[in-house]
Every structure is written in structure tokens, then in C-alpha cells.
Amino acid sequence: MQLNRIGRIQYVEVVFPGSPFSTQGFTTRHEGVSRPPYNSLNLGMNTQDQQANVEGNRSLMARAFGVSQEALVTPRQVHGSDILVINEPNEDYSHFLSVEGDAVITNQPHVIIGVCVADCAPILLCDPDKKVIAVVHAGWKGTAARLVAKTVAGMQSEFGSNPARLYAAIGPCIQKCCYEVDEPVRKDFVQSGIDWEACSEQKSPGKWHLDLAAANRELLLLAGLQAEAIQLSEQCVCCHSEQFFSYRRDKEDSGRQMGFIMLNKS
């Protein structure tokens, strides 16, 4: 993963080997139109930023990748585990913005599917054989709900994907250095069967530091992906205020970056 620029948009580019079929990555906070504290490429609808600025940023992003703003699909994220499947062309995809979901799967080209995040892990999935892509919003709740594994299973059942042939990228998120959590999080992870010892470090009684990316990598491996097919960003959004938004750091003043992926051809 490395910084790249397309049009005005600066983003962490992900290249999946053998797949010229898709374009994907993770946006940074640069070169948008939002004023501080949302400066400047705030792509999240549910912030206190001016709606017109968010719309302007989303339009900038869509145009940079060569599609209309109506073809930039982000569901209404609720920290749940519902998956939106888009399996036919639409004139205008904007109605999906009001559909609740925390993952999107599609086989449709020229549609950017994305999730807006501040600390949560954005995860991209690509099946170069069946030409199917997916994006997942994994905070601790989505991780405990095993949403990324559920999305792999969805690609398998809806489109016949073989997990062993998928590529994945886990984007910049809050890392273990800054992500202190407490008992309710530990309880949910343990109940869900995730190896808590492997993805956390206890700092004091009742306080742990959670490695969200490691937990999701583990879920991807259990879902059948090959270790070498999983890319991981090591950047902590909370440590890097010059580059990324972080809710843990900036609270209500935080904008949202986006993990996104688009099929270039069907």
C-alpha cells in the first residue's frame, strides 16, 4: 500500500496482484473542501460538518475515479451486520444511501462501493475470478459479529466466490497503541469465539488494548483466505492527525475517510 493521487484525491492505494479489474484504496483527509475541524476531505454524511461540503467532497471523489456521484454507494452504517448486495445495474444508486448495512457486495462495474470510517477498520475484498468485490465496516461490534467472514460467505453464496482465491486489504484504522477497550468488548469477542489473547494486550485491570486489524485478519484466515492474499495497513489513524480522521482523538469534530473499491469492467 502506498500513497497515490488521482485527480485531487490523495489516497492509500491498494494493488491486488493479478487484478487489473478493480481500483481500490483508502482516502486521506487531504484536498477536500470542508473547513476545520473537518478539513478537508470529509466523506461522512453523519457528521456535524456542513452537508454541502460533504456532498462536494463526495462529488470530487466520484469524479476523480470517473463516475458520477450517483454511482458512489455507501450504506447507512449502524455498527450492525447486515450486508447490502447489488447484483444489477441501476440508473442511479443514491437510494442505497438510506439502506442500513455495514458491508456491500457487488458484481456491477463502474460503481464505487465504500464505507466511511474514523477509527473502525475499512476492509476491501476482491474476487478476480468471478469479478465480485466487497467492502466492510468493522468496528469492534462488526468484528465481534464476524461481519468480514459473513461477507466472504455472502460472496460465496451469491456469486460462487472461492475464499481461497480472494484478495483482502485491511485499511488504516485505530491501532493497538491507541485503542483501549474494556470488559464489554472483551466479553463480546470471547462470546463470538475470537481468540482474545491473540488480538489484545492487557494494560491494567479491566483495560485492554485491542488490535482490530489482527482480529479481522484472523477472521479472514478462518473464512478460507490465504495469508499472502491479505494486506494490512499498519498506520494508526489516531496517531496520524495530519493524514487521517480519528473519532477517538477528535470526538464529534472528526470527519470520515473512506475505504472504497470499484470494478473497472465486468
Residues engaged in binding Zn ion (CB under 5 A): 175, 177-178, 236, 238-239
Taking the complex as a whole, how short is the minimal distance between the CB of residue 240 and Zn ion, in angstroms? Answer: 8
Nearer to Zn ion, 131 or 217 (CB): 217
Which of 79, 141, 118 lies closest to 238 in space, CA to CA?
A: 118
Burial call 59-94: b when 16+ CB within 10 Å, e when fewer: ebbbebbebebbbbbbbbbeebbbbbbbeeeeeebe
Taking the complex as a whole, how short is the minimal distance between the CB of residue 139 and Zn ion, in angstroms? Answer: 16
Nearer to Zn ion, 12 or 72 (CB): 12
Taking the complex as a whole, how short is the minimal distance between the CB of residue 246 and Zn ion, in angstroms? Answer: 8
Nearer to Zn ion, 110 or 176 (CB): 176
Nearer to Zn ion, 96 or 179 (CB): 179
Taking the complex as a whole, how short is the minimal distance between the CB of residue 99 and Zn ion, in angstroms? Answer: 33
Taking the complex as a whole, how short is the minimal distance between the CB of residue 238 and Zn ion, in angstroms? Answer: 4
Cell of 202: 492487557
Q: How many CA atoms lie within 13 A of 27 on its CB side?
A: 35
Place of cell 444489477: 88
Place of cell 464505487: 112
Residue nearest to Zn ion (CB): 236
Nearer to Zn ion, 108 or 175 (CB): 175
User: What is the chain's alpha carbon radius of gyration, rounded to the nearest angstrom?
Assistant: 17
Q: Are 234 and 2 in contact (CB under 8 A)?
A: no
